[in-house]
Amino acid sequence: MARRAVSVAVVALALLAAATAASADSWLYEKFTTDGNVRADYNAEGQQVTSLILNQQSGGAFRSRQRYLYGEFSIQMKLIPGNSAGTVTSFYLTSGDGDGHDEIDMEFMGNSSGDPVVLNTNVWANGDGKKEHQFYLWFDPAADFHTYTIIWNDKNVIFKVDDLFIRSFKRYRDLPYPGGKPMSVHATLWDGSYWATQQGKVKVDWSNSPFVVSYRGYTADACVPTGGGDVGAPLSCPAGTDRWMNRQLDAAEWGTVAWAKKNYMHYNYCDDGWRFPQGFPAECSRN
């Protein structure tokens, strides 16, 4: 009887520990609203794993309840295995969908089986976009989780994959920069057949659906505008903000940017003369 009581107590403690761990990592519904096909589960370590699901009827998305002005935003993702052509998976920040919006994008453009996935990075400022750097990923993003990070401050926007910095978009005082509008965090999975793979030549093969992308380990170390989040409102920032507010790349980190550009860059808007027949954007000659 005593042994049974001990066993019951051990099981109860294990369940309590698992519930506590899950509660501590329940980021989806506490921090985001959802739309479409979204599922939330927990792994063996108590981490919440959120899945976005795409079928022929609908995709999936989640959007942060809070808006931010500068910060470091990070999430772990496991992308679609096999033939993901035509699909687009994203992790991005945006001030909205209207004219004059700001946006910082990490978009993963699916590909046919065996071909590398393309990561599209882009920066929009006051409705001015067309600043894409695209990279072939140097690993299989569907085999395991990898960490994708956006660092945004008043000096630059930095993109990071795992421990490697791949791009820094620098601020110039006389050029558009996403520095005045609070932005919310979004993740989406959708049908981008018209654009995503080989400029839209390869469409989604719906016989492979449903397509699933998994997210976990979300963090936002960021400033929050007070007073309803109006432009120019005072900011409420976490302690130790300097760890990202003044973050710029050092020489070694610029080395990883050069490595990614040399070995894995698929597209650079500053090399696309057909797109800019009247001359390249001004920052292209200053970087």
Cα–Cα distances (Å) from 138 to 132, 208, 261, in that order, read 18, 24, 12
Q: Which of 103, 132, 253, 283 is catalytic?
A: 103
Cα–Cα distances (Å) from 215 to 76, 108, 218, 254, 260, in that order, read 6, 13, 8, 28, 24
> Beta strand 103-109 with 118-124: parallel, antiparallel or unpaired?
antiparallel
Q: Which of 107, 132, 253, 283 is catalytic?
A: 107
Residue 60, token pair as written in the block: 């999936």
103 labelled catalytic: yes
CA of residue 71 relative to chain centroid, distance: 13
93-98-104 Cα angle (round to 5): 20
SS3 content of the chain, % helix, strand, coil (to 5): 20, 40, 40
253 labelled catalytic: no
Sign, CA torsion 233/239/245/246: positive
From the list 77, 68, 24, the residue with the least C-alpha distance to 244 is 68
Neighbours of 228 (CB within 10 A): 8
Residues linked to residue 222 through DSSP beta bridges, in sequence order:
71
Catalytic residues: 103, 107
